[in-house]
Amino acid sequence: MKVLLFFGLVAFALADVTRFEGDKVLRLKPVLNEHVKVIRELANSVQLDFWTPENAEQVTVGMSVDIRVPAQYLDMVFTVLQQSGMQLEVFIDDVQEAVDRQIENKGSPRAHSYTKYNTWSDIESWMNSMATANSDMISKEVIGNTYEGRPMVVLKIGKKSGSTKPAIFMDCGFHAREWISHAFCQWFVNEAVTAYGSDSQMTSLLDQMDVFVLPVFNVDGYVFTHTNNRMWRKTRSRNAGSSCLGTDPNRNFNAGWCTTGASTNPCSETYCGTTPESEIESKNLADFIRKNKSIIKAYITIHSYSQMLLFPYSYTYELAADHDELMAVAKGASSALRSLYGTVYTSGPGAPTIYPAAGGSDDWAYDLGVKYSYTFELRDEGQYGFLLPESQIKPTCEETMLAVKYIAAHVQKNLY
């Protein structure tokens, strides 16, 4: 009886895992207003997963549009697109195969691996170990719990001193499926500690400043991508009056909240929530930054994909007061990144560079008074999208470190 019960539970768990056999990721190139209309009408009639931009309303003439089309809708979608004359290309032929290939079977390393996509439990254990083993450099603070009760842990990195130091805040993993983002924060923490004492720039930075790192912002969503649905993006909160779960946390901040590039529909991937900071994760982060507003001089948030380095604003086309300086720093950081592997990034304010989107944490931080506010969209440009193979973690993190160090050096020299 116990054996039957066990296998019954296993079968139930497996039945709840979303599979993507036969799904394809298409890149569309709308060059006419009619093409934009076709894409929006398709989105209203079938369940499309927008990879970039993040919803149909953000589609404009001339942009590249990446969508995941479930297998059961492919014939209809191909027919409609071909009739429209729109240019299309198949970027991922079978999404499930890409999901399976993303994780390379190297066995389970004894030590924490910085070239694997680690689970939340692995990351949580790693944070505890790092703080214990490097108590002179790392302290740990739980800034609150997620909707499902998991801790949101910030690591404070810097040489301990008797006085309060200026700081940089960096977070990863706003959107659950952007796994390369979570990998970078782990890489950064390890690199910072390892390089201290041998790398003059990192040593100077950590002597004079602290770096707050939140390795996983959307913990509940990240867990869900490992256990149930690799393509999950939002948080996991329950929405009153709807069977659809979760909010897009990067539409949930008080920065032009829900005015553009966001949705009031709880089933949308860009649902903005009921009010700014309605998500407990957003409020925990905002409260921490507000509490430390006097010392936080830069805010860096790591996302994927598109290979872009963005800064305010995304909720308006108006230029930020510090536009010229922010652009110069972004271009310098992008150049530093490109110097390693030749990876090309596009730099600019969010709205004209990628698409308008209200309620983002970077715009909110900037309006709060954090001058150097940047969003990274890491590799790639769509070949793998959110399913970047583990073999690309190392080069992605190595080149991104150069850009982050460039920004940090500028902040360190231009404290305000």
**Which residues are known catalytic residues?**
377
Contacts of 20 by beta carbon, 8 Å cutoff, 6+ apart: 68, 70, 94, 95, 96, 99, 230, 231
Residue 164 CB neighbours (<10 A):
10
Residue of 236, 202, 231, 207 whose CA lies nearest to 219:
236
Residue 120 token pair: 């939340």
- Left if phi > 0, otherwise alpha if psi is -120 to 50, otherwise beta: which for 210? beta
In whole angstroms, give the CA distance from residue 244 to residue 255. 24
- Per the CB < 8 A criterion, the answer to whether 106 and 116 are in contact is yes
Residue 110, classed as helix, strand or coil, is coil
* Cα 305 to Cα 186: distance, rounded to the nearest angstrom: 18
Torsion sign, CA atoms 300, 303, 309, 315:
negative
